[in-house]
Amino acid sequence: MPPLPACAPADPPAVESLYLAHHGWLQMWLRKKLANAADAADIAHDTFVRVLASRHRTRIAEPRAFLTTIAKGLVIDSWRRQEIERAYREALALQPEQLAPSPETHLLIVETLARIDRLLDGLKPKVRTAFLLAQIEELPYAEIAQRMGVTVRSVERYVAEALYHCHLVLASD
């Protein structure tokens, strides 16, 4: 099929056509998977927002497969965020009530934690460990190397790899 006209975001009329043809189906598919109509509606909506914001310029040969791939990723992101929020609430429960953040601050913290999770996703365990020890615990590379049983040069490579990975993730946002 011929490509869509070149433009920065996806072609809005093409997305509208895709939406009209497949939104109802996608929402029903998500409702069956999630057993929650509100979450299904939210993720169906977010799927089309993602399509609209994408730079996809060719006709989609298999629109339902394309949409379900995007929707599955959004479902996984939602589950990860819920897990992060649950862990944060558990940590807050251990703190005195007067230290509890406002709802706005709570939301900002969860958003930040979710973004950090996305940044660290995909790092090899040693790379993640070295990076976190260097960035969070502010340990010198020699101490990280000793703890991990690797050379200082390996720690340098791990941290550089993590920083490059984070740069790529941030650049794609």
In this structure, what CATH number is given to the domain that contains residue 65? 1.10.1740
Residue 90 located in a structural domain: yes
Q: Which residues of 92-123 are buried (b: 16+ CB within 10 A; e: fewer)?
A: eeeeeeeeeeeeeeeeeebeeebeeebbbeeb
Instruction: Show the tokens assigned to 154.
Output: 């390996």
| DSSP helix, strand, coil percent of the chain (3-state; round to 5) | 75, 0, 25
Q: Domain span at residue 90? A: 1-96
pLDDT in tens, 67-125: 999 999 999 988 988 999 999 889 888 888 888 888 899 889 988 888 888 888 889 99
Domain count, the chain: 1
Does residue 7 have a pLDDT over 50?
Answer: no
What mean pLDDT, rounded, does the chain reach?
Answer: 87
Contact 4, 57 (CB under 8 A): yes
pLDDT in tens, 44-60: 999 999 888 877 666 77
Residue 13 located in a structural domain: yes
Residue 125 located in a structural domain: no
